[in-house]
Amino acid sequence: GIERILFASDQASGARFTGERSELPHWTGFIRDLPARAARWGTRFTPAEAAAIAGANARRFYSLA
């Protein structure tokens, strides 16, 4: 279920991969906008499910909260 999905990145650091060249904001926005996007694909995600993927599941898995 949704509780098993984690958002993660192995994005490299440095000038070549940060700032305007970084794709990380695109992907975090994609996860954040899942509830709105999902309807176009014939499925649904609640804001709580998107929040779980974006960080709540990782916090729980790593016992950070």
String of DSSP letters for 15-61: TTTSGGG--HHHHHHHHHTHHHHHGGGT----HHHHHIIIIIHHHHH
Collect all residues with Cβ–Cβ distance below 8 Å to 21 and sequence separation of at least 6.
none
Q: Which residue has the higher pLDDT, 3 or 21?
A: 3
Residue 56 is predicted with a pLDDT of 92
Residue 57 pLDDT more than 80? yes
52 burial via Cβ count (<10 Å: 0-12, 13-18, 19+): buried
> Would you list the domain boundaries of the chain?
23-65
